[in-house]
Structure 1
């Protein structure tokens, strides 16, 4: 059962947590399911040259739910060979063709945290290697710095637009990152590069797309790690809680904890 957290319900959650009197109670975990595809360095676009930040190479709209390549088809833009090689990044895998496809796909839970008082979602991993625990680091054919490099990651969330929130999203990391709102590109950090920063303001996006208060909108995130040097991902989001990741029992558990604490405090005061 999935529950859309309304403003009033959020206020209740926050107020009960405040009454609980615990600073750490403001911070709650949020697990996000991420699709991670494992590549080998034989693939033409992985362990390629370092291009640096390269923008403007994917279309402004998702096609069949994924980005499409519109850059040059000669390995000059973003260290990508062509539209055909790029199309395999977020497509089906085949372990028998590591030079042209991913070799395996995994569903990996990524653990973020949410500050209920600030409405702030945070995920910060300066050594982001989600496949290490799954594949190991020495048997996948890509032995660099004791990590399984060369992978893509994607996830999608449904969010409710609330103009009263801070409504900013900020990312810092490497390599390629693209974010789409309702299928429209709003953050473009393509290319093989060291960690770079990018952000967008959802209020501006809402104005451009005609999104109104209370409207549901889609958030799609695409990432690629294509070079063996480093892998960092840092996300700070004030866009609100995803409605398809928060179940009713977890919300009511928080509320129940707050109400229980209120009862204890009242009893203590009455003595």
Structure 2
């Protein structure tokens, strides 16, 4: 991939986008319809947009309960073997890498053996007419060494699932409940750096829209309404802790996917029995909420992090905006190529992700990444 021209002074990043039906009109997420089905993608410093096959960026359907994978340091076994002497009819062999009993085989033709062979305090007696005699011996003392450190002497990383803070929002919040609409990504709704509180900062003057974009203006009512999204406020939202379990779907790729991503169903303020701004109710789900993730990872060359879904998604690496697919929109996909961010191999960096589902009719959420270890903060 090639980098996208700068937009709004944000960092360089590659993003590919794909759209499919989220709810209602295939081209629209929200309460309005628009004949223009334009699509767009935005990463930091990105202005170009592509429209892909609607099936791009999708995989096997998951209910979001796939188990994660664990990584660790494999132990090393060391064996010390002492020399063994036997009579001419038994040949003892030992594998220096084997810490367990080693079978020993002798071939004597039609010879009858009636004897006892002793090898290092382990005795096996073979009696009677035998053509092939097998003697089990233990040769020497066994040393089993297990190490809990890496080759550098440091403790192994404690990898885990992605910790999540969900916040349930009421369907008649100024920014939720299908109050707004859009047919594609709306970039630069937040500023390019995390705030001092570790949250995205509202941008009162977002940059230009992407070609073909159609949607309500504004996409966020105000800085005051946006402060409700990722800050717990009594009576305004309700905080609920959770986690996302990533599964290795192919070698070196870990994923979480849900095409019906409603993790707060039956929780918080309850399912959406109250009419939203579009006059709709959804008693089978709780569909107005935000998702907040804070974690760390060790950067290795070639790593990527992809997201596909709706609605708003902002991902910050080392405090800088690295993926910007904000606004109400059908499912859209973005990919961060970490090699383009100027990171140092072997160093630990923060990853902060913020998501919002603002129209209860549909919710898609998928992560694919080659980062194999997320370190709890």
- Answering whether residue 180 of structure 2 is matched by residue 49 of structure 1, we say yes
SS at match of 1:134: coil
The superposition leaves residues 113-138 of structure 1 with CA deviations (integer Å, 9 ceiling, x where unpaired) of 136x7332200000000101434854
- Answering whether residue 229 of structure 2 is matched by residue 89 of structure 1, we say yes
SS at match of 1:132: coil
TM-score, length-normalised on structure 1? 0.70
Partners of 2:160 and 2:260 in 1: CA distance: 19
Aligned residues: CA RMSD: 2.6
Bigger Rg over Cα: 2
Partners of 2:285 and 2:188 in 1: CA distance: 30
Structure 2 runs not aligned, ≥5 long: 1-70, 76-158, 207-215, 276-280
Partners of 2:259 and 2:186 in 1: CA distance: 22
**Quick check: 137-146 or 86-95, which moved more?**
137-146
Q: 1:81 and 1:147, CA in 2 relative to 1: closer, same or farther beyond 3 A?
A: same
In the TM superposition, residue 57 of structure 1 has moved relative to its aligned partner by 1.4
Partners of 1:50 and 1:179 in 2: CA distance: 22
Q: 1:55 and 1:147, CA in 2 relative to 1: closer, same or farther beyond 3 A?
A: same
Q: 1:141 and 1:111, CA in 2 relative to 1: closer, same or farther beyond 3 A?
A: farther
Point out 4+ residue stretches in structure 1 off by more than 6 angstroms. none
In the TM superposition, residue 153 of structure 1 has moved relative to its aligned partner by 0.5
In the TM superposition, residue 83 of structure 1 has moved relative to its aligned partner by 1.2
Match of 2:366 in 1: 234
Does structure 2 retain, via aligned residues, the 8 Å contact 1:160–1:240? no
Match of 2:333 in 1: 197
Matches within 5 A, 1:233-252: 233-244=365-376
Partners of 2:366 and 2:315 in 1: CA distance: 14
Q: 1:33 and 1:58, CA in 2 relative to 1: closer, same or farther beyond 3 A?
A: same
Partners of 1:128 and 1:93 in 2: CA distance: 23
Does structure 2 retain, via aligned residues, the 8 Å contact 1:45–1:85? yes
Q: 1:83 and 1:229, CA in 2 relative to 1: closer, same or farther beyond 3 A?
A: same
- Answering whether residue 310 of structure 2 is matched by residue 174 of structure 1, we say yes
Does structure 1 retain, via aligned residues, the 8 Å contact 2:272–2:284? no
Does structure 1 retain, via aligned residues, the 8 Å contact 2:304–2:369? yes
Q: 1:233 and 1:122, CA in 2 relative to 1: closer, same or farther beyond 3 A?
A: same
Does structure 2 retain, via aligned residues, the 8 Å contact 1:72–1:82? no
The superposition leaves residues 56-86 of structure 1 with CA deviations (integer Å, 9 ceiling, x where unpaired) of 111000001000111449x724x21111111
Partners of 2:228 and 2:345 in 1: CA distance: 37
Match of 2:217 in 1: 76
- Answering whether residue 153 of structure 2 is matched by residue 153 of structure 1, we say no
Does structure 2 retain, via aligned residues, the 8 Å contact 1:30–1:113? no
Match of 1:34 in 2: 164
Partners of 2:200 and 2:271 in 1: CA distance: 31
In the TM superposition, residue 218 of structure 1 has moved relative to its aligned partner by 0.2
Match of 1:251 in 2: none
Aligned to 1:67, which of 200, 212, 216? 200
Structure 1 runs not aligned, ≥5 long: 14-28, 96-100, 246-271
Partners of 2:295 and 2:192 in 1: CA distance: 19
- Answering whether residue 324 of structure 2 is matched by residue 188 of structure 1, we say yes
TM-score, length-normalised on structure 2? 0.51
Match of 1:254 in 2: none
Q: 1:231 and 1:37, CA in 2 relative to 1: closer, same or farther beyond 3 A?
A: same
